[in-house]
């Protein structure tokens, strides 16, 4: 799967706000640390301090990346087996792993349901919200979402005016999933981080991708006061999430 042009365009629009160059490839364009620093300043809502804005020498690039990595660790995000050199040298596997770790932290870790871990709390929230729907049985962030009904149930539970769950053809897994994605994007501002085929036509959907996408439903439907801060961060970060997902699929397809 090649990166969608519209996804890169949205990422580049964010970067251009601060006069930074456009990204062409998530895996290689973090190599001098400037884009990574800018990304962290966006999602962290605070400046990282002074850094080399036009690094030319390798040592300057390493300094930039170390500043970013130190900030990530300071925010309590654990990074293993990755150093500044890996990013400067554009190691795709390690970079994608790092960015996914950041994604999960800033979109999911602030979810709290009865003191459970972020993942377990999000799962419990989904189970509670979909409990009235007899055709939905959310047990995980993989197989439970393949027929599209869980997505539709979450929307209907909170916004029954947006779709008629009871009128759905429960056998139309592609149609149900597509409907949920369309409604979520158009009315809730949740971008399509997944293609219908990524959910319905794979032996096992990617857990991280489903969890990241579903987390947006949590933030969209949680009470305004509880989700206000997380929602602002998420709104700024969703464009990057889309691009990273596309880039990872592109990398794995090679």
- pLDDT mean across residues, the chain: 81
Q: What is the dihedral of CA 230, 232, 238, 244, to 10 degrees?
A: -70
Which whole number is the average pLDDT over 168-197?
93
Question: Which tens digit of pLDDT belongs to each residue from 2-21?
Answer: 333 333 444 454 455 555 55
Cα distance between residue 173 and residue 244, in whole Å: 26
DSSP string over 68-120: HHHHHHHTT----S--HHHHHTT-HHHHHHHHHHHHHHHHHTT--STT--HHH
Structure tokens that stand for 65 in this block: 């990346």
Task: Output the pTM of the full model.
Answer: 0.67
Residue 168: DSSP 8-state: S
Cα distance between residue 63 and residue 69, in whole Å: 10
Question: Which tens digit of pLDDT belongs to each residue from 108-156?
Answer: 766 766 666 778 889 999 999 999 999 999 999 999 999 999 999 999 9
Helix (H, G, I), strand (E, B) or coil at 123: helix
Question: For tokens 């880039």, what's the residue?
Answer: 247
């Amino acid at each position: 799967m090649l990166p969608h042009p519209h996804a890169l365009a949205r990422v580049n629009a964010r970067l251009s706000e601060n006069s930074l160059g456009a990204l062409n490839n998530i895996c290689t364009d973090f190599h001098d640390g400037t884009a990574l620093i800018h990304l962290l300043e966006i999602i962290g809502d605070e400046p990282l301090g002074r850094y080399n804005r036009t690094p030319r020498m390798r040592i300057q690039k390493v300094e930039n990346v170390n500043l970013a990595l130190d900030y990530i660790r300071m925010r309590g995000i654990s990074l293993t087996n990755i150093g500044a050199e890996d990013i400067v040298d554009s190691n795709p596997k390690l970079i994608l792993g790092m960015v996914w770790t950041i994604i999960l932290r800033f979109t999911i870790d602030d979810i709290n349901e009865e003191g459970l871990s972020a993942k377990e709390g999000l799962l419990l929230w989904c189970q509670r919200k979909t409990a009235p729907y007899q055709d939905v049985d959310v047990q995980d962030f993989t197989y439970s979402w393949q027929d599209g009904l869980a997505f539709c149930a979450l929307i209907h539970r909170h916004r029954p005016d947006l779709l008629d769950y009871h009128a759905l053809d429960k056998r139309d897994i592609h149609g149900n999933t597509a409907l949920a994605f369309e409604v979520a994007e158009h009315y809730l501002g949740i971008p399509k981080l997944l293609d219908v085929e990524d959910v319905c036509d794979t032996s096992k959907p990617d857990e991280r991708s489903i969890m990241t996408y579903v987390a947006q439903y949590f933030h969209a439907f949680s009470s305004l006061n509880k989700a206000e801060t997380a929602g602002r961060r998420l709104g700024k970060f969703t464009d990057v999430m889309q691009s990273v997902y596309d880039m990872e699929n592109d990398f794995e397809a090679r």
